Chains A and B, each alone.
Chain A
């Protein structure tokens, strides 16, 4: 990594400048992360009197535990549906807005602001709309003969959290898709039009492939978002229920660590989550140039 050609000479100053950032990183990041690694190999008895070192036993237990395996599956379903739903809506809106000339900024303003809404608040909003006794959606669904109840039906609960999580993320995806669309040279599209390609054909053979770097980037960001930032959505609404149906990994770490006080298992889960994030980040940095080309 390069610096400027010309630099300042000073022995002490650069270290002083770095000190605040590095100290905070060490105390609140490196230390806790290594604690998590260490604790993930310990087992504490229920009274916290004795701890034993048990190597990878915590990890083995996790994968033998049906609730953990179930939570893995739930997380996969949840993050894939959230990503698909919010990205496809955002792409649809972005292509439509990109056609507009005068009304572009107006629509953009309206579509952008949900980014500011906290995930927990997004959860509460949709929870209210879908509330079985006072909400509007269950009332309308009843008219078409569907009895909505996310407190009892696990499918309903999953749909609810997916909608809430995806709703908040639409604006983020929309902005990136719009920026991607605007960077596609108009001449390519005109050339295709002259060759007789219709709107639909132009979209799928030119625009969509040229968008693939944006799409891939957003896919990774959305999966990370759905896996980690949606804690608030779950905690403020379904609390993992009914019957573990929305118990995603991040929520389970919190539950086992703080409510269940099972520190060894919670630390092991943290380590697995860190692994997942690191893999996703590496994938994002490495793959993005290589696989997505046109």
Chain B
């Protein structure tokens, strides 16, 4: 601190508290709304203090869902989201580790060509090529499967790029020592490279899990069977599905359930998350 200025610091605290308020407010409102009974919303503006129906509302959405409006119980949707997020995170990390290893530790014809093919995918989000990707997946018969939900999203170069950068910083002596001791490439990969990259893998996992969990457009397109709905897209069906005024208390209970897992991941692994975020975007 260069100079001591009390009022400035106080002002900064005030601004930050306001900021935290703005950031937290929508979720606070959602939690409050999820504890009200259905009649509350017909009477006008929602209250700002919790009601006493929280337990009941959460039990309803998890076990029964809104079967009359075609939305399955969210227990199943939560499971689907979890499977999809895990497959994307694990799959991305696995294939990226392998290809980064190949690119850094081998010399072979067309190395640059492959590097560019992979790198190009870094640039284009799924959103810009929705229709043709959908057609490809449909013609492969992968609609309404976990494979169809996750595999097309594994094709992204972010993780490969991160691991390549990391492998370049691993000292040459590691490889020399391993070769002197007679280790083959896969042995070197398994016993030296993997243990060294464990923090990077964990950081990547946090980012990719959140990415997978929050996918919206892709599951919306390729799932027509409600047994494969994911939670984030399921909310949209609840908001727009049905003719009556939306059942806000149930929707908000679902929203809270959908947002909770990735938020917990960030809160508990904040350090890894910050590391993963700032390093992938370099």
A residues near B (Cβ < 8 Å) are: 1-8, 10-11, 13-15, 17-18, 20-22, 24-33, 35-36, 39, 89, 92-93, 96-97, 99-101, 103, 107-122, 124-129, 133-136, 139, 167, 170-172, 175-176, 179, 189-190, 193, 199, 217, 221, 224, 228-229, 231-232, 235-236, 239, 250, 253-254, 257-258, 263, 266-267, 270, 273-274, 277-278, 281
Contact = CB atoms under 8 A, between A and B. Distances in A.
Considering residues B33, B99, B127, which has the most beta carbons from chain A within 10 angstroms of its beta carbon? B127
Given A32-B135, A139-B45, A231-B217, A221 B281 contact: yes
Report which residue of B131, B135, B216 has the largest number of chain A beta carbons within 10 angstroms of its beta carbon.
B131
Nearest to B221: A258
Nearest to A31: B136
B141 interface: no
Nearest to B11: A96
A189 B2 contact: yes
B118 to A, nearest CB: 6
Contact of B8 (A110, A111, A199, A281): A199
**Which of A17, A119, A139, A253 is packed against the most chain B CB atoms within 10 Å?**
A17
A253 B104 contact: no
B125 A229 contact: yes
Contacts of A254: 130, 217
B164 to A, nearest CB: 9
Given A128-B33, A129-B26, A167-B26, A32 B45 contact: no
B117 A30 contact: yes
B29 A136 contact: yes
B107 A99 contact: no
Interface stretch (B17-25, B64-72, B195-203): B17-25
B20 A111 contact: yes
B95 A21 contact: yes
Given A1-B115, A35-B135, A113 B267 contact: yes
Nearest to B220: A235
B262 A267 contact: no
B8 A28 contact: no
Contacts of A17: 98-99, 101-102, 106
A97 B16 contact: yes
Interface of B: 1-3, 5, 8-9, 12-13, 15-16, 19-20, 22-27, 29-30, 33, 41, 44-46, 48, 94-96, 98-99, 101-108, 111-112, 114-115, 117-118, 120-125, 127-137, 140, 151-152, 154-155, 160, 168, 172, 175-176, 179, 184-186, 188, 210, 213-214, 216-217, 220-221, 232-233, 235-236, 239-240, 245, 248, 251-252, 255, 258-259, 262-263, 265-267, 270, 273-274, 277-278, 281
Contact of B259 (A93, A121, A266): A121
Contacts of A266: 131
Contacts of B155: 21, 24-25, 28-29
Q: Identify whether the interface residues of A are mostly helix, strand, loop, or mixed.
A: helix
Contacts of A120: 214, 216, 232-233, 235-236
7 contacts: A93-B19, A96-B12, A100-B16, A121-B259, A171-B23, A193-B3, A235-B216
B104 A116 contact: no
B275 to A, nearest CB: 11
Given A118-B213, A175-B277, A22 B117 contact: yes
* Smallest CB-CB A-B distances: 10 pairs: A118-B214, A32-B132, A116-B262, A17-B102, A232-B216, A14-B106, A35-B132, A125-B26, A257-B131, A273-B128
